[in-house]
Chain A
Amino acid sequence: MNQNIDLLTLRSVSKSYGTVPVLHDIDLSIRDGEFLTVLGPSGSGKTTVLRLIGGLEPLTAGEIRLDGQDISRMPINKRPFNTVFQDYALFPHMTVSGNVGYGLSVRHIKRKEIASRVSQALELVQLGRFAERFPAQLSGGQRQRVALARALICQPRLILLDEPLAALDLELRRQMQEFLKSIQREIKTTFLFVTHDQEEAIGMADRICVMQAGHIRQLGTPHELYYKPNCEFVARFFGENNLVAGKLGPVQGEQRPIETALGRLVCSICDQPHLKTAPDGVSAFAAFRPEALHLADAKDGANRFSGTITDLAFAGSSTVATIMAGANDAAQRLRLRMPSRIDGSALKSGEMVSLCFAPHEGHLVLA
């Protein structure tokens, strides 16, 4: 497996239901062996992407290529992909081993081989003891693992997972995230995972594809998405963020200033050529994470402004302060996150404070 080779390519793929378009001209490459997460709010078209790839629905326009071959019209039962459905879709009248072996038995593989591959697959998902149970006798997490075993037993080129953890409670969901990731590492199969939960996406994905309103907004590693969002939507959707609107100033090496209601803020534009080439005076946002914002001390020079703390919320390991910054008529609501301390916060609600963030911790997004 080579992570640099494209397994599957979507080219100018569009999809409409009747006259309602749900996907607009999508281009996406999935690399062989990667764990790719498609992340987006509901209605963003993320599940549609999965259904098109799986062959559950026909394309309206464009093509899907597997190893360079067009498979857009290949019927669902011929595609070398398998799906883990959101509600698992386990066959209620078959035992666990009947469910897991189904994909092999419809291909008329010998009983003996089916039995041995089923037991291997069940060992892999740690359900060896449950082979003869019916789905109704299993817990949610166990059903989830049966669905996974059933999908991977045919050794598909790609496993499609449609929000498979949505029905599980929080603790189980965390366990299953680790479990899925470890299985994926072990069998080295490409996973395409659809979710609306960004924590889930960050925890598991090699790369994340953020979708909104039928468009792909950004595709990159979780780190890239977090620190170099390329648009306002990703900057706001992916993790908590402070955005302050303004106009771009002239480029200063790897940094660029932006004139905002909080004054001139200088942010990093390193490795983002489109920010370098954008003309002066263009509308943009300065974006900085709550954990990048801190109380200014004497030696801090750049990106300094003052604000009033309006609320303090204890959130376990960290404490979040809500701050109104800037002049009254253009006050900005900002958040500041800092490690919690046993003897209580150094801040007090209603207090005036001086704040700043380092230029290399701020970034710019075009409006």
Chain B
Amino acid sequence: MSRAGSTHSAEGRLSQLVTVLAFALPVIFVLVPLAIFLVYSFFGVDQGTIVYAPTLSNYVRFFTDPIFLPVFWNTIVLCVSVAVICILLAYPAAYFLTTLKGRWRYALLMLLLVPLLMSYVIKIYAIRSILGLNGFLNKALVALGILDQPSTLFVFNMNAILLTLSLLLIPFAILPIFLSLERIPQTLLRASDDLGASSLQTFLRITLPLSLPGVASAASFVFVLAIGDFLTPQMVGGISGFTFGRILYSQFGTAYNWPFGAALSVALAIVVICAILVGERFGRSRGTSV
């Protein structure tokens, strides 16, 4: 469109307008809110009203208060565990998909991705009822004789959050792993066979290393989505399942301390950016990127 312009004045004016909008819109609706948000983290609160004077007290509180750092750390551990579970389940499934031929491969992929489109809230609710004391999981475990009586092991606690988030986020792990596996040229695998490798050797030395970029993006995807979620912990976490997202959300609800919430968000954003950068770094394939 860069050629459109100078000849007609109407086009010229439109192109100027577009230029202004192209820069202004993203800045106004994304950058400015985030900047204000950042600035808020340096404000304080006095008796329910925000004090517009710069202070580091929010950050000091985050690092010194015995509550926040452990929750922060536990949440990171939780979300890393979610990512690990998702990948352990998604990798074999994605690998199985790539062994299928043509139409079946994509039909099954669709089948595994469709649950993503289903209402998030409803899924959380359904999983909660499955995990509950009278839920399907407990019934099945008792029926199989694994448990004598329904267990509270995964009812309203961290385990429940772990299981629910894993269940919700598996499709986000399947897709990138599938795509990276599918990109591996078949001739590389045939070449490995040809050079005398067994199928296990071919998998460990060719397929697995070449699919690691997909695993890295999958892990970073799942981690970022898990750590930002405050609905799931709220719904299935009960009293003991306290995550960083919940604390953050409560600063804007019951606790009503927006500046402190903003400071907690900055901490969250830093972790998320690190996760994305790590995913990016390892998401690029070795050797070929030169």
Contacts A56-B190, A83-B191, A85-B187 hold; do A93 and B287 have CB atoms under 8 A apart? yes
Please state if A93 and B210 are interface contacts (CB–CB under 8 Å): yes
User: Per-residue 0/1 for A347-365: is the Cβ within 8 Å of any B Cβ (1 yes, 0 no)?
Assistant: 0000000000000000000
Residues of A within 8 A of B190 (CB): 56, 76, 83, 85, 89
Question: Closest CB-CB distance, B218 to chain A, in whole Å?
Answer: 18
CA distance A53 to B197 in the complex (A): 18
CA distance A76 to B195 in the complex (A): 9
Which residues of B in the span 198-228 have a Cβ within 8 Å of any Cβ on A? 198, 201, 205-206, 209-210
B17 at the interface (CB under 8 A from A): no
Chain B neighbourhood of A136, CB < 8 A: 287-290
Q: Give the shortest distance, in Å, between A93 (CB) and chain B (any CB).
A: 5
If A89-B191, A93-B210, A137-B290 touch, does A106 touch B285 (CB 8 Å cutoff)?
A: no
Q: How far is the CB of B199 from chain A (nearest CB, A)?
A: 8
B residues sitting closer than 8 Å to A (CB atoms) are 185, 187-188, 190-198, 201, 205-206, 209-210, 285-290
B197: contacting residue among A77, A87, A150, CB under 8 A: A77
Q: Mark A65-94, 1 if CB is under 8 A from B, else 0.
A: 000000000011110011101110101111
A136 to B190: give the CA distance in the assembly, Å.
Answer: 20
Inter-chain contact A107/B285, CB cutoff 8 Å: no
**In the complex, which range does the number of interface residues on chain A fall in?**
20 to 34
- Would you give the 0/1 interface string for A93-127, flagging 1 where the beta carbon is closer than 8 Å to chain B? 11100000011001100000000000000000000
Most buried by B among A56, A102, A154: A102
Whole-angstrom CA separation of A94 from B196 in the bound complex: 17
What's the minimum C-beta distance from B201 to chain A, rounded to whole angstroms?
5
Most A C-beta atoms less than 10 A away, residue of B196, B210, B288: B196
* B193 and A76 form a contact (CB under 8 A): yes
Q: Which of B188, B201, B209, B290 contacts A106 (CB 8 A)?
A: B201
Expressed in whole angstroms, the minimum distance between the Cβ of B63 and any Cβ of chain A is 41
Residues of A within 8 A of B (CB): 54-56, 75-78, 81-83, 85-87, 89, 91-95, 102-103, 106-107, 134-137, 150-151, 154
B191 near A134 (CB under 8 angstroms)?
no
Chain B residues with CB under 8 Å of A92's CB are: 188, 210, 285-288
Chain B residue, CB-CB nearest to A107: B196
Q: Determine whether the beta carbon of B290 is less than 8 Å from that of A150.
A: no
How far is the CB of B210 from the nearest CB of chain A, in Å? 6
For A82, what are the chain B residues with a Cβ–Cβ distance below 8 Å? 194-195
A-B CB proximity, top 9 nearest: A103-B195, A134-B287, A89-B191, A89-B187, A106-B197, A76-B193, A92-B288, A83-B194, A92-B287
| A–B pairs, 30, beta carbons within 8 Å | A54-B194, A56-B194, A76-B194, A77-B193, A77-B195, A77-B196, A77-B198, A78-B196, A82-B195, A83-B190, A85-B191, A91-B188, A91-B191, A91-B192, A91-B206, A92-B286, A92-B288, A93-B210, A93-B286, A102-B197, A103-B195, A103-B196, A103-B197, A106-B198, A106-B201, A106-B205, A134-B286, A134-B290, A136-B289, A150-B195
Q: What's the least CB distance linking B289 to chain A, in Å?
A: 8
Select one of B185, B194, B286, B288 contacting A77, CB under 8 A.
Answer: B194
A56, A75, A76, A107: most-surrounded residue (chain B CB, <10 A): A76
Nearest CB of chain A from residue B124's CB, rounded to whole Å:
40
CA distance A77 to B285 in the complex (A): 27
With both chains docked as a complex, state the minimum distance between the C-beta of B197 and any C-beta of chain A, in angstroms.
4
Distance in angstroms from A90 CB to nearest chain B CB is 8
Please indicate the chain B residues that have their CB under 8 angstroms from the CB of A137 in the complex: 290
Chain B residues whose C-beta falls within 8 Å of the C-beta of A78 in the assembled complex: 196
CA distance A135 to B201 in the complex (A): 21
For B198, list chain A residues within 8 Å (CB): 77, 106
Q: How long is the Cα–Cα vector from A150 to B194 in the complex, in angstroms?
A: 11
- Closest Cβ–Cβ distance, residue A156 to chain B (whole Å): 9
In the assembly, what is the distance between CA of A327 and CA of B2, in Å?
A: 66
In Å, the complex CA distance between A116 and B289 comes to: 29
Distance between A219 CB and nearest chain B CB, rounded to angstroms: 25
CB distance from B198 to the nearest CB of A (A): 6
- Give the chain B neighbours of A103 by CB distance below 8 A: 195-197
Q: How far is the CA of A103 from the CA of B192 in the complex (A)?
A: 8
Expressed in whole angstroms, the Cα–Cα distance for A59 and B64 within the complex equals 73
Complex interface: chain A residues within 8 A of B185 (CB): 87, 89
Contacts of B289 in A (CB 8 A): 136
CB distance from A206 to the nearest CB of B (A): 24
How far does the alpha carbon of A95 sit from the alpha carbon of B197 in the complex, in Å?
Answer: 18
Chain A residue numbers with a CB within 8 Å of B285 are 92-93
Q: Which residues of the partner chain A approach B209 to less than 8 Å between Cβ atoms?
A: 93
Extra pairs beyond A92-B288, A103-B197 (9, CB < 8 Å): A75-B193, A76-B190, A82-B194, A83-B190, A87-B187, A89-B191, A102-B192, A134-B286, A151-B195
Q: For A54, give the chain B residue with the smallest CB separation.
A: B194
Which of B193, B286, B289 has the most C-beta atoms of chain A within 10 angstroms of its own C-beta? B193
How distant is the Cα of A129 from the Cα of B211 in the complex, in angstroms? 29
